[in-house]
Each structure stands twice: as structure tokens, then as C-alpha cells.
């Protein structure tokens, strides 16, 4: 599991999935840092089951959110 305490939170919106139980299109997901996954064009996200897992990066679009929105999303998780 990646350590999300060393960098600011990042978020991405799911734009496609091959498993609707794990990812929901149009939903915002927290992205965890994972340099080795990024080299293979994957990102690590907290999925619908609350687990961090690798998914193809092209399933998502990264978004920058206002700090108050990021704080609200982090406190809701």
C-alpha cells in the first residue's frame, strides 16, 4: 500500500470501467502516489470497496479541486 501522507491528495474522475462494482463512471476517486505503477500507465486509487488498487490511467481524468473540497472529500473517507 502506498503512503498517502507524504504528498498532497490528488483526485481523478472515472470516465470508464470494466467492472462497475469497483469503479463508477463520473465518480471522484482519491489517487495515491505510486511511481512504479505510473511507469506502466496505471494509477492507484481507493475504489468503491475502500481498497487501494491499480487501474489503467486511461480510466480516469485528473482534476484539481479547491482546498475546501479536497478537505471535505478527505474527511468523508
Question: pLDDT tens for residues 18-54?
Answer: 999 999 999 999 999 999 999 999 999 999 999 999 9
CATH fold of 10-76: SH3 type barrels. (2.30.30)
Could you tell me where the beta strands, DSSP code E, fall in the chain? Answer: 10-14, 28-32, 42-46, 52-56, 60-63
The closest of 29, 56, 26, 27 to 45, measured between CA atoms, is 29
What integer pLDDT is reported at residue 6 of this predicted model? 58
Domain parsing of the chain, residue ranges? 10-76
- What is the percent of the chain with per-residue pLDDT over 70, rounded to a whole number? 91
Q: What is the pTM of this model?
A: 0.83
What integer pLDDT is reported at residue 9 of this predicted model? 78
Could you tell me which residues are beta bridge partners of residue 53? 45
Amino acid at each position: 500500500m502506498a503512503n498517502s501522507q507524504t504528498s498532497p491528495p490528488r483526485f481523478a474522475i472515472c470516465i470508464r470501467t470494466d467492472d462497475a462494482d469497483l469503479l463508477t463512471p463520473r465518480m471522484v476517486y482519491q489517487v495515491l502516489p505510486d511511481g512504479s505503477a505510473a511507469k506502466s500507465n496505471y494509477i492507484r486509487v481507493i475504489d468503491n470497496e475502500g481498497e487501494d488498487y491499480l487501474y489503467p490511467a486511461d480510466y480516469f481524468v485528473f482534476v484539481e479541486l479547491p482546498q475546501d473540497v479536497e478537505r471535505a472529500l478527505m474527511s468523508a473517507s
